[in-house]
């Protein structure tokens, strides 16, 4: 579960059509239980709904940029976005991919410290920062929820550091696939495949590698019979055991 700038939650279609509609939208939000809004009692959801506005963005569109004034708290929605930071010469590090229910934490700083870009057409909720903070003040469980998420995010970030600092290219790729698989299994328990909505270049920038190395890594996993590359970016994991062991960094 990535935490960076916003929480991702699916807005249902009706709510989206009448954007800024106060009453019904948020209470019926498909991703409500996934997001911080899950901490709100149903009866009080109108309080949230009253400050939210709903937006959509096309693939490749930038939702917010590093360095911008943090005016809003984003609660992202449908499908996936990537969060990244750039070095002056253009080197890029993707710090996370966000899915529905994930939280965008940099809302607590004055300026955004990363850039967020849509991987696919995406729907998201926008909370004016001050108002969102007021709602959090009013509903203590929401604050607790935020703290719990932040804590989880920190643990995930440390895991990510181990990966970036100490794993080999092959282990990084295996780790990436296993993380995606575990996410898929939270939705569909018996799933044995993942869909890569991001490009090889995105994966490379997430793992601290080059696109070529990522490509070769996938090929090698394929020739070893551990994965299968299907159409539409779908990857079927054929040997979960082996992949998990590689991902964990076993001594071979």
Partner DNA sequence: TATATGCCCTGATTTTCGTCAACGCGGGAT
Partner DNA sequence: ATCCCGCGTTGACGAAAATCAGGGCATATA
Q: Which residues bind DNA (CB under 7 A)?
A: 168-170, 196, 199-201, 208-216, 218-219, 229, 233
Q: Which structure tokens are listed for 13?
A: 């279609």
What tokens were used for 120? 């696919």
**Closer residue to its own copies, CB minimum distance, 58 or 110:** 110
- Minimum CB separation of residue 246 from DNA in Å reads 12
Task: Compute the radius of gyration of the chain from its Cα atoms.
Answer: 19
Binding partner of residue 153 among its own copies, DNA, none, CB cut-off 5 to 8 Å per kind? its own copies
* Interface residues toward its own copies, by CB under 8 A: 3-4, 85, 87-89, 91-93, 95, 105-109, 113-114, 140, 143-144, 146-148, 150-155, 157-162, 164-167, 205, 207-208, 248-252
CB 94 within 8 A of CB 82: yes
Nearer to its own copies, 154 or 195 (CB): 154
Residue 218 binding partner per list DNA, its own copies, none, with a CB distance cut-off of 5 to 8 Å that depends on partner kind: DNA
**85 touches, from DNA, its own copies, none (C-beta below 5 to 8 Å by class):** its own copies
**How open is the CA angle 76-39-137, to the nearest 5 degrees?**
90
Residue 251 contact partner, candidates its own copies, DNA, none, CB within 5 to 8 A by sort of partner: its own copies
The nearest distance, CB 140 to DNA, in angstroms, is 44
Coil, helix or strand at residue 29? coil
What DSSP letter does each residue of 222-246 carry, written as one string?
HHTTSEEE-GGGEEEES-HHHHHHH
DSSP state of 137: H
Residue 76 has a CB neighbour count (10 Å cut-off) of: 33
Nearer to its own copies (CB atom), residue 128 or residue 208? 208
Q: Which does residue 158 touch among DNA, its own copies, none (CB within 5 to 8 A, set by kind)? A: its own copies
In the block, which residue shows the tokens 């710090």? 95
Q: Which is nearer to DNA, 175 or 213 (CB)?
A: 213
Closest separation between CB of residue 251 and DNA, Å?
Answer: 12
Answer with the entry of its own copies, DNA, none that 213 interacts with (C-beta below 5 to 8 A by kind).
DNA
Cβ contacts of residue 126 below 8 Å, gap of 6+?
52, 53, 54, 55, 72, 73, 74, 75
162 contact, one of DNA, its own copies, none, CB 5-8 Å limit per kind: its own copies
3-state secondary structure string across 33-91: CCCHHHHCCHHHHHHHHCCCEEEEECCCCEEECCCCECCEEEEECCCCEEEEEECCCCC
Minimum CB distance to DNA smaller for 55 or for 167: 167
- CB-nearer residue toward its own copies: 8 or 11: 8
Nearer to DNA, 47 or 200 (CB): 200
């Amino acid at each position: 579960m990535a935490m960076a700038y916003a929480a991702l939650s699916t807005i249902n279609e009706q709510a989206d059509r009448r954007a800024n509609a106060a009453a019904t939208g948020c209470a019926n939000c498909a991703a409500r239980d996934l997001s911080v809004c899950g901490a709100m009692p149903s009866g009080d959801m109108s309080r949230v709904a009253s400050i939210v506005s709903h937006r959509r963005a096309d693939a490749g569109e930038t939702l917010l940029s590093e360095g911008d004034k943090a005016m809003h708290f984003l609660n992202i929605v449908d499908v996936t976005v990537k969060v990244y930071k750039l070095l002056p010469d253009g080197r890029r590090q993707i710090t996370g991919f966000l899915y529905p229910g994930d939280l965008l934490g940099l809302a607590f700083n004055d300026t955004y410290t990363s850039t967020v870009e849509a991987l696919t057409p995406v729907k998201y909720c926008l909370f004016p920062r001050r108002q969102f903070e007021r709602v959090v003040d009013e509903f203590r469980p929401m604050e607790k929820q935020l703290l719990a998420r932040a804590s989880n995010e920190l643990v995930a970030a440390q895991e990510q550091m181990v990966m970036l600092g100490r794993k080999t290219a092959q282990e990084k790729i295996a780790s990436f696939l296993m993380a995606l698989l575990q996410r898929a299994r939270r939705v569909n328990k018996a799933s044995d495949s993942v869909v890569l909505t991001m490009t090889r270049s995105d994966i490379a920038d997430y793992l601290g590698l080059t696109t070529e190395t990522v490509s070769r890594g996938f090929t090698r996993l394929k020739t070893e019979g551990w994965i299968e590359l299907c159409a539409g970016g779908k990857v079927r994991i054929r040997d979960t055991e082996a992949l998990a062991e590689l991902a964990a960094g076993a001594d071979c």
